Amino acid sequence: MSTRLDIKKTYKLYIGGKFPRSESGRYLPAHSSKGEHLDNFAHASRKDFRDAVVAARAATGGWGKATAYNRGQILYRAAEMLQNRAGELVNEIARSTAVNAAKAKREVTLAIDRLVYFAGWTDKYPQVFGSVNPVASSHFNFTTPEPTGVVVVLAPDEPSLLALVSLVAPAILSGNTAIVVASEKFPLPAATFAEILATSDLPGGVVNILTGKRAELVPHIASHMDVNAIVDGAGDAELSAKLQAGVAINLKRYANHAATDWFSAKVEDPYWILDTVEFKTAWHPIGI
């Protein structure tokens, strides 16, 4: 009697709303905390990263021009879709990491709540952080926050889902687009989250998710001239130094959120939104 073997799923990259295979043809095995072979995932290359930048840049126009109310609705819809597939993500986290089902459920629940929380900031942060400035001449002088453009987000290994959501949501709510380098150790929850985003209302290219080796991608992230900002939550001192050396040359914005307690309310800091916005000031004559 023959024995049937389970088919191992091969998770693809998520670029421009589609799921391409890595152009290099490389894949890596995903292991559980006990060393069990779970599935396989794409090993992103320099070309994959460059493709993700192109997709993210192409999406900035439409996403940045969408109304704040509409962006909030779309982020809320993503939370709805995440909630609908919560059981699947709980299982993905539990089998990938060493946490039990109860802790995995807590992580997924908090990820849903984080999306809802930051969805509520889309039409509020300009009022909170913008201003009408007193000037000496007969003018109105307004300062408003606007998206900076394409943002690269480096997610830490743990918690593989909650940290990713907590870093991406404040980056994209203002109209930025994002390229996420997922957890290197536990990439499957991020890959499943990509499948959820693909079935939400989020336009293709607003969030792009790459899996693979951080060290291979970091030099290209630091040197790429069409990336406007980097949000670093990976917690790798050596890679952080390389990123900061790169942004010092081409003047990208850099924010470091490593060593954060991702389960605490401190992560719901609206000032994280300011990591990836630029302030623009406009003058308007009074009476015209």
For the stretch 85-100, pLDDT in tens is: 999 999 999 999 988 9
Q: What is the distance between the alpha carbons of residues 210 and 28, in angstroms, rounded to a whole number? A: 13
Provide the pLDDT for residue 288: 62
Res. 287: pLDDT tops 80: no
Q: For residues 258-284, give the mean pLDDT.
A: 92
Q: State the pLDDT confidence band at 121, using cuts at 50, 70 and 90.
A: very high
H/E segment holding residue 89: helix 86-96
Phi, psi of 79 (to 5 degrees): -65, -40
Residues 6+ apart with CB under 8 A from 279: 143, 144, 145, 146
Provide the pLDDT for residue 284: 87
The pTM score is 0.93
Q: State the pLDDT confidence band at 258, using cuts at 50, 70 and 90.
A: confident
For the stretch 169-225, pLDDT in tens is: 999 999 999 999 999 999 999 999 999 999 999 999 999 999 999 999 999 999 999
Sign of CA dihedral 22, 23, 28, 29: positive
In CATH, the number for domain 21-285 is: 3.40.605.10
Q: For residues 244-256, give the mean pLDDT.
A: 91
Asked if residue 196 lies in contact with residue 78, where contact means CB atoms within 8 angstroms, the answer is: yes
- What strand order describes the sheet that includes 207-210? 207-210, 177-181, 150-154, 229-232, 253-256
Provide the pLDDT for residue 5: 74
Asked if residue 266 lies in contact with residue 259, where contact means CB atoms within 8 angstroms, the answer is: no
- Among 189, 183, 170, smallest CA distance to 82 is for 189
Q: For residues 88-116, give the mean pLDDT.
A: 95
Q: State the pLDDT confidence band at 268, using cuts at 50, 70 and 90.
A: very high
244-249 long-range contacts, CB within 8 A, separation 24+? 246/219, 246/221, 246/222, 247/222, 249/223
Res. 270: pLDDT tops 90: yes
Q: For residues 134-148, give the mean pLDDT.
A: 91
Q: Bin 125: left if φ > 0, else alpha if -120 < ψ < 50, else beta.
A: alpha
pLDDT, averaged across the chain: 94
Asked if residue 123 lies in contact with residue 69, where contact means CB atoms within 8 angstroms, the answer is: yes
